[in-house]
Amino acid sequence: MITVNDLTQIHTPLRYPVLSIGAFDGIHRGHQEIIRFLVNLARQKQGTAIVLTFSPHPQRIITPATAPPLLQLPEQKEKILREMGVDVLVRFPFSREISLLQPERFVTEILFRWDFREIVVGSNFRFGHKRSGDCGTLALISKQRGIPVHAIEPVEFRGVRISSTRVRGLLSEGRVELARRLLARPYQFRGTVVRGAGNGAVLGFPTANLEPQNELTPAVGVYAGRAHLAGIEQPCVINIGFRPTLYERPEGAPVVEAHLLDFNGDLYGTTISIDFCARLRAERRFESLDSLKKQIAKDINLARKYLARGVPERREVGDGTNR
């Protein structure tokens, strides 16, 4: 997959370019339905599957005070799109000027500057100033150029439309297992290992203290997960919280620390990706360090049992209800 800021950066002609446009934050199952349709259509036409997204996220420009935390780092999004078969990713620079374009100007001045042959969007796609354009608007304008527009219906889970907003809400509540169902994979969090207070080693369970790279951290609690480092996957127990047993009056943001099971090595300065697979319990204060150590041992045993069940990393988009 090629990643560019503008298709003019590609100097060779693209064969039958097919476009999908959207924020695609998190690339949840609804997004995956759109991307799969795009890639299959491009393959049928022996063409090029192109995804156009914006950088920064449009809400960072339009309403920065209320813009939500993003579910993915740019490189995490790129990896999934590459795995799904996308040929070109355009990370188009979004600006205040673009946000003020009326729908017709947006299509003619932004999209029609390239010779797209077909366009694929979600049926709830909105664009233009104050989101005044919809899928029907895009189809009407594109029809004048003879460009078909394919509208993909949302994917539902338990009768509710899957959305990035819903995934964010679940993660903020610590409901990582349900978030996994909507993402078709565990939520992945990346961080750099930094030096902590060394409490984990004192307790007999050394941890990697992570300085977050992702914007969204799941709710305070204890989780079972998988750590990815240097091509190795390692089961782990993650604690997000304020360590109330050790600190009576914790301050600042919650600490993210992971205890990698059956691992012995120096991780300082390395980058680790963590898959959040299940929430084991809430964080709580224990009466003594001995009680805390016993609970950590129970957490590790529970995490081992859960992860040994072979929880699937991905689910097919068809595992649910499509509207």
Q: Which of 135, 127, 164, 137 is nearest to 151 (CA)?
A: 135
In whole angstroms, what is the distance from residue 244 CA to residue 242 CA?
Answer: 6
Scanning 45-124, the segments in alpha helix (DSSP H) are: 58-62, 74-83, 96-99, 103-106
- Name the phi and psi angles at 211, rounded to 5: -90, 115
The single residue of 177, 257, 283, 287 carrying the catalytic annotation is: 257
* Strand extents, DSSP E, the chain: 2-4, 17-21, 48-55, 88-93, 118-122, 149-152, 155-157, 160-161, 187-194, 208-212, 221-229, 232-241, 255-260, 271-281, 321-322
Report yes or no: 65 and 20 within 8 Å, Cβ to Cβ: no
Identify residue 249 by its one-letter amino acid code.
R
In whole angstroms, what is the distance from residue 163 CA to residue 177 CA?
Answer: 16
Helix axes 176-183, 164-172, angle to 10 degrees: 160
Whether 233 is catalytic is no
Write out the two tokens for 260. 């990698």
Residues designated catalytic: 257
